[in-house]
Structure 1
Amino acid sequence: MRFLTLFHLSPFLDTAISYVTAFVLGTAIGAERQYRQRTAGLRTNALVAIGAAAFVDLGQRLGGDVESIRVISYVVSGIGFLGAGVIMKEGMNVRGLNTAATLWCSAAVGAIAGSDMVAEAVLLTGVVLFANTALRPLVDAINRIPFAGGTVEATYSVTITVAVEEAGPLGDLLVEHLENAQLPVADLATQERGEEQVALVATLVGTNVAHSELDTLVEHLSRVHGIDHATWQVSTHD
């Protein structure tokens, strides 16, 4: 049997240590994700770590350190497809980026464990857990800080609701006012508001806009030009 010729106790124990290390550390990372009810929880992170460790250990056993490096590069790229599966886009919001990044880190922990660097794998696990737990209060504190319009990258739009027959000239008027205010328009869209009215939505090119400028503009459109409904909104993004 080929098994008898390939089996050696010392390499087998080395592989067992790599697998157990990856399992324990991947479970620790996954437990935090499971506690927070994330898409990729305990079992997923544990399996990602074990799989990465198995591939790297196999490459090292069969081809040495050079081959294990080649396997690691494939693990790094391959885990990206798995991470993409937990990322979801809901309107202007993107969810799952942190979970995908955690899966990537679990794969790194497994690859390090598969390379027999147990202490380094434990260290990385501690750093990942610190990032996902200890930094959370800091993130919440930052999110509660009011932001000024010129300090974030965002998409601004100005919307006016007008009668259907006035859509053409008032649309030109809206674009003219925005251009005169040095707020170039990227797109002007029309949305139906019943049979007699439409909403004209002007999306701006610039990302740094003072909110006071837009407040003044919509007030001018309402007061001077008699537009009943004029407003603006901002959607922040990474």
Structure 2
Amino acid sequence: MLLSSLHNPWYISELHILLRLLLALLLGGLVGFEREQSKHAAGLRTNILVCLGSCLLMLLSMYGFSAFVDEPNVRVDPARLAAAVITGIGFLGAGTILFTGKSITGLTTAASLWVVSAIGLAVGAGFYFASAVTTIMVLVTLWAFNKLEKRYISAKKEHLLKIKINHYSQAMLEINSLLVERKIVMRKMLLEECEDDGKGAEKGEQIILQFYITLPKSEALLVLLDKIKHLEGVRWVSSE
């Protein structure tokens, strides 16, 4: 009887359930630890809970309804709850995505939650090798590729500069000379006349200058903003 139970695809022992849940905790914790070190919203506990919950739901989907397998009017589909997990995790991931101005943050964290849920489902289904390899690949993607991205891609990121200057000053020529001297690429320039900060001033007394710049690797944005701020005729400068 015991031997037949062990070969039954609808049966799993308590020991194997415990091992799968512990493995889900470990793999989810590895990804969560990396996210926690990077100070992201979904950190260690969040990733562990997602992976554990996905694993439990997969176990429930596969083995929780084994008593009804032999019923003539019941059809057991182990993939049904798994599909619901993949859909439901989208709502949790959406909570980590933030839209601020013209930038969107949290997409990588949301994607990591989605992958962690898939890892949990794989562990629950018994795909230990696939779940372990996927966890390693996720860690390499989040850690190693992040280093490469900061070194080779982030340096080419565009910044939007907004500068308010006096209309009849030489600030515009000095700003242009400063950017050319530091080999900073500038594009999409926009000039907009505005009212002065003082009372009773007429429109056109000051100009808001907007343009996008790409900094060289050796150039620091804060240093550039400080130099522009101290130019004669510059009222304020901001960056996005």
Question: Residues 92-145 of structure 1, C-alpha deviation per residue, up to 9 Å, x if partnerless?
Answer: 222211111111111111010011111111011001000001112210122354
Question: Residues 68-107 of structure 1, C-alpha deviation per residue, up to 9 Å, x if partnerless?
Answer: 2111111111111111111222222222111111111111
Aligned partner of 1:76 in structure 2 is: 86
The alignment of Structure 1 onto Structure 2 pairs a total of residues equal to 177
Shift of 1:235: 9.2
TM-score w.r.t. structure 2 length? 0.59
Aligned CA-pair RMSD:
3.9
**Is the CA contact 1:161–1:228 (under 8 Å) kept in the aligned structure 2?**
yes
Question: Match of 1:18, as an amino acid?
Answer: R
Task: List alignment gaps of at least 5 residues for structure 2.
Answer: 1-9, 67-74, 168-191, 215-240
Which structure features the higher share of helix residues? 1
**Is the CA contact 1:23–1:46 (under 8 Å) kept in the aligned structure 2?**
yes
Match of 1:67, SS? coil
| Separation in 2, partners of 1:9, 1:61 | 6
| Separation in 1, partners of 2:83, 2:196 | 52
Query: What are the within-5 Å matches in structure 2 for residues 1-238 of structure 1?
Result: 10-63=12-65, 67-146=77-156, 229=207, 231-234=209-212
Identity fraction in percent:
27
**1:144 to 1:105, Cα distance in 2 relative to 1, 3 A:** closer
| Separation in 2, partners of 1:82, 1:48 | 9
| Separation in 2, partners of 1:199, 1:105 | 55
Task: List alignment gaps of at least 5 residues for structure 1.
Answer: 1-7, 148-153, 164-187, 201-226
Match of 2:51, SS? helix
TM-score w.r.t. structure 1 length? 0.60
Question: Residues 7-59 of structure 1, C-alpha deviation per residue, up to 9 Å, x if partnerless?
Answer: x9943223222211111100111111111221111111011000000011100
| Separation in 1, partners of 2:30, 2:160 | 42
| Separation in 2, partners of 1:18, 1:189 | 65
**Is the CA contact 1:193–1:199 (under 8 Å) kept in the aligned structure 2?**
no
Aligned partner of 2:6 in structure 1 is: none
